[in-house]
């Protein structure tokens, strides 16, 4: 078994350490590939740990089951949050940086010892965070994701959280060195779009990490009594730079993966480099302002700051998302039409490789992120409408739509792609692999919608073990939300089973899958190969199918926005 595992990190490289990928055509160096595999595998382990706690948390919120006592609920919720929102995501994102930098640019991974040191630091600190949460004892409390001061959270937790952020920074350094060398070597050259997207991801990550180190460092100084008090408002302000910023890293990394994989497995083209890069630059300037929506009901911050950061400025990022929401499907449409696969309005879509789990995962990621995660994010970022969402279960629904649906599906697709093209293994079960994105996306989509309904329609709060059947010290009843929680509970279990299916296929393929031989990966490529030139420039092809889809999206967006304003007018009738 050990030989099998070490064999996973080997491929047939030339004397110079490079090999040419039979699917992407990229020249990949051993050093970059080894670390992409290492960080990707570690991310999947974090996904497994977080997924186990997802079951415990979901079965507690479904009060018919009521798995955990309120006294232990926060510990399990904290484990769930840190392993899935942080560790699963960030380990994957480092892997994506190494794909977007050295692999796309055909370079070695520089500073491999630094990459190794980053990985070790991240693993040790992730274990440390888990340990500090799991061993929480009174008077300390489990931190949840936020670890708000003056909540008595252990100093070990803050220390380990800071160490993890430092580790992620160390691990990202080889990527930045790659970009630096590329630009130094050819200062007037344009980076490929994927490398450009990865770079924007990296810079957004730097902002988020600095905010996190400032917030956790401030709290740690208070816990260690270097300072007498910690201002809750200052902490929250700094904390959300990383708390929400990490999720913006997810978003930009996810969109970079969208461009990469829709091209490789769906035959997509970039319909306009200028437009897509402009959208990435809008993200660079505005996406991290989304953090402000967590502070919309906080005292001490002016209305001007809130409105500027969540509306006027942040809409720059919303606009960017809508550009990508057009550019990605338009790229697929043009790419497939130029292959002669675009009959009628949606022929390019109906003829797409829906049995390819990588394509299906990416496409569901695009659709569900946009319709569920994106729209709700913009709605929540509006100061008045936010009042019906803030700190309700609907907010949990929103970030499950973005992270658990959008980003996780995209990363699942990427892991499947890495299994086939870098680990060079056949899926242990082609049928299970094909089923995974459908099962997970469908079940998690419904579970997410139920969270939103429970929060918006009944005001069910987040972060509480018992609310529907028991609100201590109050006659107020949320019992009317019980049916929603029944649906939520059932589909949460099904979504977790979808996650189990994903892990079984990914890990099972590595351990028991047949080695890929010459030509075995041809099924991943779009019809006509990776480069199919229809003889006409991109703008000469129809994009009316995408335009129609965008009109549908806009209609849903407007309807959701209007509906949320209506619900705000009905505020005092909620739950009656």
Interacting residues toward another protein by CB under 8 A: 25-27, 104-106, 179, 182-183, 186, 188-196, 199, 203, 206-207, 211, 231, 233-234, 237-238, 241, 259-260, 263-264, 270, 274, 277-278, 281, 284-285, 288-289, 291-292, 295, 299-302, 305, 308-309, 313
Q: Which is nearer to another protein, 106 or 347 (CB)?
A: 106
Q: How far is the CB of 26 from another protein (least distance, A)?
A: 6
Neighbour-count burial of 171, counting CB atoms closer than 10 A to its CB (0-12 exposed, 13-18 middle, 19+ buried): buried
Q: Which is nearer to another protein, 2 or 303 (CB)?
A: 303
Give the N- to C-terminal CA distance of the chain in Å, as an integer: 60
Q: How far is the CB of 573 from another protein (least distance, A)?
A: 33
Q: How far is the CB of 192 from another protein (least distance, A)?
A: 5
Q: How far is the CB of 190 from another protein (least distance, A)?
A: 5
Q: Do 77 and 55 contact (CB within 8 A), yes or no? A: no
Q: Which is nearer to another protein, 138 or 189 (CB)?
A: 189
Q: Which is nearer to another protein, 243 or 499 (CB)?
A: 243
Neighbour-count burial of 291, counting CB atoms closer than 10 A to its CB (0-12 exposed, 13-18 middle, 19+ buried): buried
Q: How far is the CB of 369 from another protein (least distance, A)?
A: 21
CA distance 32 to 106: 10
Cα angle 107, 113, 114; round to 5: 85
Structure tokens at 378: 């913009």
Q: How far is the CB of 229 from another protein (least distance, A)?
A: 13
Q: What is the CA radius of gyration of the chain?
A: 23
Q: How far is the CB of 301 from another protein (least distance, A)?
A: 5
Q: Which is nearer to another protein, 111 or 196 (CB)?
A: 196
Structure tokens at 243: 């708390």
Cis peptide leading into residue 139 (ω within 30°):
yes
Structure tokens at 456: 């918006």
CA distance 168 to 205: 9
Instruction: State the number of CA atoms in the 13 A half-sphere of 124 facing the CB.
Output: 12
CA distance 286 to 522: 40
Q: How far is the CB of 310 from another protein (least distance, A)?
A: 10
Q: How far is the CB of 517 from another protein (least distance, A)?
A: 24
Q: Which is nearer to another protein, 196 or 393 (CB)?
A: 196
Q: How far is the CB of 516 from another protein (least distance, A)?
A: 21
Q: How far is the CB of 5 from another protein (least distance, A)?
A: 31
Cα angle 253, 9, 41; round to 5: 40
Q: How far is the CB of 208 from another protein (least distance, A)?
A: 10
Q: Which is nearer to another protein, 105 or 506 (CB)?
A: 105
Sequence-separated (6 or more) residues with CB below 8 Å from residue 101: 32, 107, 174, 175, 178, 179, 195, 198, 199
Q: Do 331 and 262 contact (CB within 8 A), yes or no? A: yes
Sequence-separated (6 or more) residues with CB below 8 Å from residue 470: none
Q: Which is nearer to another protein, 121 or 248 (CB)?
A: 248
CA distance 195 to 181: 13
Q: Which is nearer to another protein, 372 or 414 (CB)?
A: 414
CA distance 537 to 110: 37
Q: How far is the CB of 487 from another protein (least distance, A)?
A: 38
Q: Which is nearer to another protein, 278 or 532 (CB)?
A: 278
CA distance 127 to 164: 10
Q: Which is nearer to another protein, 252 or 396 (CB)?
A: 252
- Which one, of 57, 36, 42, 47, lies nearest residue 408 by Cα? 47
Q: How far is the CB of 171 from another protein (least distance, A)?
A: 18
Q: Which is nearer to another protein, 89 or 287 (CB)?
A: 287
Q: Which is nearer to another protein, 1 or 303 (CB)?
A: 303
Looking up tokens 């990621």 gives: 365
Cα→Cα distances 263→101, 121, 260, Å:
17, 34, 5
- Which one, of 410, 413, 437, 433, lies nearest residue 513 by Cα? 433
Instruction: Please give the biggest Cα pair distance in the chain.
Output: 75
Cα→Cα distances 132→87, 137, 144, 146, 344, Å:
15, 10, 12, 14, 58
Cα→Cα distances 184→110, 179, 188, 455, Å:
15, 8, 9, 51
Q: Which is nearer to another protein, 101 or 498 (CB)?
A: 101
């Amino acid at each position: 078994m050990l030989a099998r595992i070490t064999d996973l990190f080997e491929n047939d490289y030339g004397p110079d350490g490079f090999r040419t990928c039979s699917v992407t055509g990229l020249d990949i160096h051993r050093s970059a590939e080894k670390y992409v595999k290492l960080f990707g595998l570690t991310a999947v382990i974090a996904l497994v740990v977080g997924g186990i706690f997802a079951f415990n948390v979901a079965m507690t919120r479904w009060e018919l089951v009521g798995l955990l006592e309120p006294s232990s609920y926060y510990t399990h919720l904290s484990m769930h949050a840190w392993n899935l929102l942080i560790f699963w995501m960030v380990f994957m994102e480092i892997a994506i940086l190494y794909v977007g930098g050295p692999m796309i640019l055909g370079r070695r991974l520089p500073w491999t010892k630094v990459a190794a040191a980053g990985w070790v630091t991240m693993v040790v600190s992730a274990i440390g965070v888990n340990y500090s949460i799991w061993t929480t004892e009174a008077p300390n409390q489990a931190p949840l994701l936020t670890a708000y001061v003056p909540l008595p959270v252990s100093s070990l937790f803050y220390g380990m959280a800071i160490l993890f952020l430092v580790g992620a920074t160390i691990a990202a350094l080889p990527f930045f060195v790659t970009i630096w060398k590329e630009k130094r070597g050819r200062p007037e050259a344009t980076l490929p779009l994927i490398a450009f997207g990865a770079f924007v991801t990296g810079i957004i990550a730097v902002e988020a990490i600095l905010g996190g180190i400032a917030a956790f460092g401030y709290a740690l100084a208070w816990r260690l009594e270097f300072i007498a008090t910690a201002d809750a408002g200052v902490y929250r302000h700094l904390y959300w730079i990383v708390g929400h910023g990490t999720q913006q890293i997810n978003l930009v990394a996810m969109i970079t993966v969208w461009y990469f994989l829709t091209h490789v497995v769906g035959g997509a083209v970039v319909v306009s480099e200028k437009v897509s890069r402009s959208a990435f630059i809008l993200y660079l300037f505005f996406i991290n302002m989304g953090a402000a929506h967590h502070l919309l009901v906080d005292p001490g911050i002016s209305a001007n700051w809130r409105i500027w950061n969540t509306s006027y400025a942040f809409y720059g990022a919303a606009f960017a998302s809508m550009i990508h929401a057009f550019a990605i499907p338009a790229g697929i449409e043009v790419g497939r039409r130029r292959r002669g696969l675009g009959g009628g309005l949606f022929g390019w879509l109906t003829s797409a490789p829906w049995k390819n789990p990588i394509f299906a995962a990416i496409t569901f990621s695009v659709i569900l992120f946009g319709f569920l995660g994106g729209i709700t994010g913009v709605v929540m970022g509006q100061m008045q409408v936010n009042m019906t969402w803030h700190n309700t279960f609907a907010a949990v629904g929103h970030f499950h739509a973005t992270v658990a649906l959008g980003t996780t599906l995209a990363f699942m697709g990427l892991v499947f792609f890495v299994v086939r093209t870098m680990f060079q293994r056949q899926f242990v079960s082609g049928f299970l692999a094909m089923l995974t994105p459908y099962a997970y996306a469908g079940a998690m989509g419904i579970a997410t919608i139920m969270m939103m309904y429970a929060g918006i329609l009944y005001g069910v709060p987040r972060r509480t073990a018992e609310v529907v059947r028991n609100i201590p010290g109050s006659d107020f009843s949320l019992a009317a939300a019980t049916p929603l929680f029944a649906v939520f509970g059932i589909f949460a279990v099904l979504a977790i089973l979808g996650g189990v299916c994903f892990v079984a296929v990914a890990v099972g393929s590595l351990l028991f899958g047949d080695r890929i031989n010459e030509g075995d990966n041809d099924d991943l490529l779009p019809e006509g190969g990776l480069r199919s030139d229809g003889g006409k420039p991109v703008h000469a092809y129809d994009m009316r199918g995408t335009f129609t889809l965008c009109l549908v999206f806009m209609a849903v967006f407007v309807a959701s926005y209007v509906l949320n304003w209506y619900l705000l007018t009905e505020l005092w009738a909620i739950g009656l």
